[in-house]
Amino acid sequence: MGKVKFLLEYSFGHVSPEGLWTSLSTPSGLSCWFADKVYKEDGVLNFVWGKSEAQKAEVLHHRSGFYIRYHWLDDEDPKSYLELKILCDELTMDVVLVVTDFCGEDEKEEAIDLWNNQIASLKKAVGAC
């Protein structure tokens, strides 16, 4: 069974895009909401949850202040990735985060619930509650 791509959009109101970018693209920023600990070693990001769960990711592409695309090194699908993109509405100046991720077809609802919880933590971290 292959993976399916899904996109989620989250409104952050008038939060600073620069502050949000730091939370999405740096080990210290990611440690505040995405994983318990994130550190960079030999150009690879190490994500640690709890005492035993860990994953490594590389940055595939990025445009500073706009989007970053990660690929999990243990993912057998070379076309799957996690992308975090910041958009700003020119009229309202509201900031929107677009999450693009992949999961098994039978895991989509669980993945969306996980993202909803993670983004709630991110909103607290950047003051967008």
What residue type is 74 in one-letter code?
Answer: D
pTM: 0.93
Residues 2, 97 contacting (CB under 8 angstroms): no
In this prediction, residue 11 carries a pLDDT of 95
Extract the tokens encoding 99: 């999450």
pLDDT at 51: 86
Residue 128: its pLDDT value, please? 62
User: Which ranges of 2-107 does DSSP label H, i.e. alpha helix?
Assistant: 17-25, 27-31
* Mean pLDDT score across all residues of the chain: 94
Give percent of the chain with pLDDT exceeding 70: 98
For 47-91, how does the pLDDT look when each residue is reduced to its tens digit (9 = 90+)? 999 988 999 999 999 999 999 999 999 998 889 999 999 999 888
- Token digits of residue 23: 């939370």
Report CA-CA distances (Å) from 5 to 74, 119, 126: 18, 18, 27
pLDDT value at residue 90: 87
Could you tell me the sign of the dihedral formed by the alpha carbons of 56, 52, 36, 9, in that order? Answer: positive
Residue 95, token pair as written in the block: 């900031």
Are 74 and 55 a contacting pair, CB within 8 Å?
A: yes
- Give the per-residue pLDDT at 102: 97
